[in-house]
């Protein structure tokens, strides 16, 4: 697959207007892979002009016509699974097997929303008075600006672009500065699939120039929706800054997921669930458990089993097929992990596996016991391969601790007690709850948070509604 390194605007691959570029760095070797466009305000405006011009014709197409293009895109993504996985691993660092999985995961959203494109049903409302007909119909919101993260460089942009395009919206997108190449490759396949010029526009920008690009989209009334996955502070900024033109927002923000192991849990299943949910992408997902609460009666046995699974995890580059944990995305990410572990150990935690920085962008998979709420890692998302284990004594206590955070994206718990399952699932203040299950991601399910983890849902039929508004039609004088 030829790497694209230019912007895609109005159906053309173009350099940044002022010719600026920045390096894309392989997090495993710290070598430059290539250079891509470092876009500024003029490029952002050109992308928006193209999306606004393409909107009337794209929204006029029937859902079925839009679905056909999305289905072709899905087929092309799957045909290019291996090549896309190589790009993901190269720029983001995740092991190849996981990268292949991410391609399939991203494609599943494209397929799902191709199918949903034909189901934007409205309502026929029984008239409250005779002589009137009342209808609620759904319409695309307009031009959407998608700002996407580095941790799933393909899946996160796919699950924003696919519903937007299925709904009849056109898009301007900016991928994360660390991982623009996968997004550009995905858009090249969209071009091949036959989306009309201007339906999808993408510009890359360095960390320094990103605000210039995003400000153009925030200020311009033609952008009717912003969809963002990333940190809570940036999400709050987008909410404030888009208020001037009252844009619709979908914000998938930070988490601080609790993972609770009750005394009656199947401990082997809980350990496996934790391995899957915590070490996916080296611990760099918003739904990774960040705080593991284990009942005091099973604490020792659980920790022994967990440490025995974590210690042998193989750390290394994606080029080594045996690697299970790749590099972290950049040195800043490793600095944060190191800070969290150091703070925890200074406050009394003990490492029973790992606990140290390795060379380059690597960090050893780590289990810490005797974690307490006073430690930084209990309040902030670590975003790395570190499992802090806290003890608890009662259901009431652990539910209170689990909810004692401004965040509310995902939570997990393991128990065999049916009544407790419903009690705890009701009590947890998160948008997603894993019950005796660590793998939650699915295109058919609504993904999103509550509290300061944001609002809006991705995937499922709710994921399409986020790109539609409801128009009420009232016809009168029918007699």
Contact residues: ligand SIN, CB under 6 A: 151-152, 229, 252, 285-287, 441, 447
CB nearer to ligand SIN: pick between 428 and 441:
441
252 is catalytic: yes
CB of 376 to ligand SIN, least distance (A): 20
CA angle at residue 270 from 374 to 153, to 5 degrees? 75
CB of 23 to ligand SIN, least distance (A): 25
CB nearer to ligand SIN: pick between 220 and 381:
381
| DSSP 8-state class, residue 62 | -
CB of 329 to ligand SIN, least distance (A): 12
Alpha helices, H only, 198-310: 210-219, 232-241, 267-279, 299-310
**Sole residue written with tokens 């995305």:** 329
The three-class DSSP label of residue 7 is strand
Q: Which residues contact 285 (CB under 8 A, 6 or more apart)?
A: 151, 152
Give the residue among 468, 381, 402 at the shortest CA–CA distance from 149: 381
Please tell me which residue in 98, 252, 395, 458 is annotated as part of the active site.
252
Six-digit token string for 294: 């284990």
286 is catalytic: yes
CB of 336 to ligand SIN, least distance (A): 16
What is the rounded (10 degree) CA torsion for 280, 282, 283, 285?
A: -60
CB nearer to ligand SIN: pick between 390 and 447:
447
Sign of the alpha-carbon torsion through 408, 414, 420, 421: positive
CB nearer to ligand SIN: pick between 152 and 467:
152
CB nearer to ligand SIN: pick between 114 and 286:
286
CB of 252 to ligand SIN, least distance (A): 6
Q: Are 131 and 187 in contact (CB under 8 A)?
A: no
Give the residue among 155, 149, 150, 36 at the shortest CA–CA distance from 93: 150
Angstrom distance (rounded) from CA 279 to CA 94: 11
Q: What are phi and psi of 305, to 5 degrees?
A: -65, -40
Give the residue among 145, 215, 155, 151 at the shortest CA–CA distance from 178: 151
Please tell me which residue in 111, 177, 286, 443 is annotated as part of the active site.
286
CB of 298 to ligand SIN, least distance (A): 27
Q: Report, as residue numbers or ranges, the catalytic residues.
A: 252, 286
């Amino acid at each position: 697959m030829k790497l694209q390194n230019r912007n895609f605007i109005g159906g053309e691959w173009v350099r940044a207007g002022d010719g600026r570029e920045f390096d894309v760095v392989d997090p495993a070797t710290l070598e430059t892979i290539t250079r891509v466009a470092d876009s500024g305000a003029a490029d952002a405006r050109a992308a928006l002009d193209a999306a606004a011009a393409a909107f009337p014709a794209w929204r006029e197409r029937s859902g079925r016509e839009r679905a056909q293009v999305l289905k072709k895109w899905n087929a092309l993504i799957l045909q290019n699974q291996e090549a896309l996985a190589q790009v993901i691993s190269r720029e983001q660092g995740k092991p190849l097997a996981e990268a292949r999985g991410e391609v399939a995961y991203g494609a599943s959203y494209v397929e799902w929303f191709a199918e949903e494109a034909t189901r934007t049903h409205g309502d026929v409302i029984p008239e409250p008075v005779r002589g009137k007909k009342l209808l609620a119909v759904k319409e695309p919101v307009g031009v959407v600006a998608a700002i996407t993260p580095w941790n799933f460089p393909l899946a996160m942009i796919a699950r924003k672009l696919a519903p937007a395009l299925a709904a009849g919206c056109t898009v301007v997108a900016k991928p994360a500065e660390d991982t623009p190449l996968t997004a550009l490759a995905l858009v090249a396949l969209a071009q091949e699939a036959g989306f009309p010029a201007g339906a999808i526009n993408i510009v890359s920008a360095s960390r320094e120039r990103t605000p210039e690009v995003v400000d153009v989209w925030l200020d311009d009334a033609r952008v009717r929706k912003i969809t963002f996955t990333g940190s809570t502070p940036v999400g709050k900024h987008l909410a404030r800054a888009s208020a001037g033109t009252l844009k619709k927002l979908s914000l998938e923000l930070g988490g601080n997921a609790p993972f609770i192991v009750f005394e009656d849990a199947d401990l082997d299943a809980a350990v496996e669930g934790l391995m899957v949910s915590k070490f996916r992408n080296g611990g760099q997902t918003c739904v990774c458990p960040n705080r593991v609460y284990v009942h005091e009666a099973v604490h020792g046995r659980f920790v022994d089993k967990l440490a025995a699974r974590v210690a042998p995890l193989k750390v290394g580059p994606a080029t080594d097929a045996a690697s299970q944990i790749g590099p972290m995305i950049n040195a800043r990410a490793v600095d944060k992990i190191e800070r969290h572990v150091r703070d925890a150990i200074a406050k009394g935690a003990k490492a029973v596996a790992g606990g140290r920085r390795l060379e380059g962008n690597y960090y050893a998979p780590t289990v810490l016991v005797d974690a307490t709420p006073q430690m930084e890692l209990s309040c902030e998302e670590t975003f790395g391969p570190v499992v802090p284990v806290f003890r608890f004594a009662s259901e009431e206590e652990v539910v209170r601790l689990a909810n004692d955070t401004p965040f509310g994206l995902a939570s997990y718990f393991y128990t065999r007690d049916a009544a407790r399952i419903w009690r705890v699932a009701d009590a947890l203040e998160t948008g997603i709850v894993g019950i005796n299950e660590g793998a939650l991601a699915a295109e058919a399910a609504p993904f999103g948070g509550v509290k300061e983890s944001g609002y809006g849902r991705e995937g499922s039929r709710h994921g399409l509604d986020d790109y539609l508004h409801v128009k009420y039609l009232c016809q009168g004088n029918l007699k």
